[in-house]
Structure 1
Amino acid sequence: MALAPDRAVRGLLFDRDDTLVIDVPYNADPHRVVPVPGARRAVERARAAGLAVGVVTNQSVVAKGLATRAQVDATNARVDELVGPFDVWCVCPHDAADDCACRKPRPGMVLDAARLLGIDPSELVVVGDIGADVGAASAAGAQGVLVPTARTLPAEVEAAGTVAATLDEAVGLVVAQVRAVRP
């Protein structure tokens, strides 16, 4: 599946856990950050194509009281060091029961990232491993690419408009879209 053939793309937002780094549930320890194979190369490809890059990540570890926001920020700084750099980080520290506007699949973080990057949300693509990631993209007016993992539900794969087998393939789809639409 491909992205919309006539939409300009200026920015790429990534989910953090199981997209850029191996998921360690509720991780707020920078020493436990391990990039997904090829993550740094994928981000470099996006930058080389002229895309702004960012991360949008649900981190309910804060709301659950298992870590502080400073610990999450330190963990994100380690991801930035190993995989980035990223132009913007948007973090939702809430739990699902908090009913906030930022927690994916709601559009808040995608809209915030668009504002901070100075890019219309329709010119963004969000890459993630679960339905909430592509749902947030859709809710914000952006495009989404699902990169399934072992925890991705079959229904999420079926519902996704664009699915890629790997992070590298997902970035390749986005880069191809940039080249196809660029004047």
Structure 2
Amino acid sequence: MSINKLLILDRDGVINEDSDDYIKSEQEWRPIPGSIEAIAALSAAGFTVAVATNQSGLGRGYFDEAELGRMHAKLLDLVAKHGGAIAAIAICPHVPDDQCDCRKPKPGLVRRIEEETGLSAADAWFVGDNVGDIGAARAAGCQPVLVKTGKGERTLAKLAPAELDGVPVFTDLADFAKHAIASLKEGL
């Protein structure tokens, strides 16, 4: 079995610290220790890294597109300073009641990433910290991965073992990156 080199990451709780009050500004956007280095290492290993993120704070008016752009510019700059790259950032600005096709757990963001990168997401790892991420991964034919950062511990506590069947769990993005890079080197 060959490894799909497209790798999709959720943002809040996987790459940066999350908040139940939303991340509303560039100043509030703080990377989880080791996450930026993990993205750079994944990129250097040959993965095409993309981000799929629900950002309903935009639809709720907590921040505007310019502020979201500054948050993402900060992310891209930090990753670049560590020698890595992010190929695409797909966002859903909608609130749950909008019934859009891009809000996770629907697969719209993954489809957008496929269009932007020209790569298939079939069997690609999709790293998230909540049920919506697992649902989006499964809906898009990706391999869901759960990290314990962000809402990960809460997600583990509320899901039945059957709901986590086939979902590997890692401490954080850095822990997952070590596994992914080793798997790529082994050709698993």
Superposition TM-score, scaled by structure 2 size: 0.85
Post-superposition offset of 1:110: 1.0
Question: Take 1:73 and 1:62, find their aligned partners in 2: how far apart are those partners?
Answer: 11
Question: Take 2:159 and 2:88, find their aligned partners in 1: how far apart are those partners?
Answer: 26
Which of 56, 63, 66 matches 1:60? 56
Question: Take 1:18 and 1:123, find their aligned partners in 2: how far apart are those partners?
Answer: 22
* Percentage of matched positions with identical amino acids: 31
Q: Does 1:177 align with 2:180?
A: no
Q: Deviations over 1:81-120 (max 9, x none)?
A: 2245311010000011111111111111012112211111
For the Cα contact (< 8 Å) 1:146–1:157, is it kept in 2?
no
Equivalences, count: 177
Farther-moved stretch of structure 1 (74-83 vs 12-21): 74-83
Question: Take 1:177 and 1:108, find their aligned partners in 2: how far apart are those partners?
Answer: 28
Q: Does 1:167 align with 2:173?
A: yes
What residue number does 2:144 align with? Answer: 144
Instruction: Flag the 1:150–1:32 CA change in 2: closer, same or farther, 3 A.
Output: closer
Q: Does 1:155 align with 2:158?
A: yes
Tell me, which stretches of 5 or more residues in structure 1 are unaligned? 1-5
For 2:184, what is the secondary structure of its paired residue?
Answer: helix
Farther-moved stretch of structure 1 (124-133 vs 81-90): 81-90
Post-superposition offset of 1:123: 4.5
Which of 24, 29, 34 matches 1:28? 24
Question: Take 1:56 and 1:157, find their aligned partners in 2: how far apart are those partners?
Answer: 25
Superposition TM-score, scaled by structure 1 size: 0.87
Which of 37, 40, 47 matches 2:36? 40
**Residue type matched to 1:11 in 2?**
L
